Amino acid sequence: MSNIPADLKYAKSHEWLKAAADGTATVGITDYAQASLGDITFVQLPKVGATLKAGETFGVVESVKAASDVYAPAAGTVVEVNQALEANPEKVNHAPYGEGWMLKLKLASAADAAALMSADDYAKSIG
């Protein structure tokens, strides 16, 4: 059974988002996604300052099996990326909601984040 924390929001494309009170949000990929990919070997992240539209590709997650695009769950500007993933991409496998976080966005609109799926809806979507 994959881990789907109740306090996060989810995109159909298997990214999670955690909104903070200050209008920023942390983004990563779900436990279901990391388990499906297998051993993650490389994570390509955007530069700080990049602006993203909701649904736009922000990077790539590579595993032994395949390379896969990752999509911004909400529109915003990249304010921080997880540098630790360069040397230790396996953090995404071991702690997809913790140490495996990918980037922090300054959200263009809090409403975008609110429109994402709840944990229950995401759980239903992955069946």
Residues of this chain that bind other proteins (CB under 8 A): 13-15, 29, 32-33, 36-39, 41-42, 44, 60-62, 64-71, 89-90, 93
Nearest to other proteins of 42, 120 (CB atom): 42
Contact at 8 Å (CB) between 48 and 90?
no
Q: At closest approach, how far in Å is the CB of 22 from other proteins?
A: 27
Kindly tell me which of 4 and 29 has the beta carbon lying closer to other proteins.
29
Residue (21 or 47) nearer to other proteins, CB: 47
Please state, in angstroms and rounded to a whole number, the distance separating the CA atoms of residues 81 and 85. Answer: 9
Cβ neighbours of residue 90 under 8 Å, at least 6 residues apart?
39, 40
What b/e readout covers 101-118, taking b as 16+ CB neighbours within 10 angstroms?
bbbbbebbeeebbeebbe
Find the shortest distance in angstroms from Cβ 72 to other proteins.
12
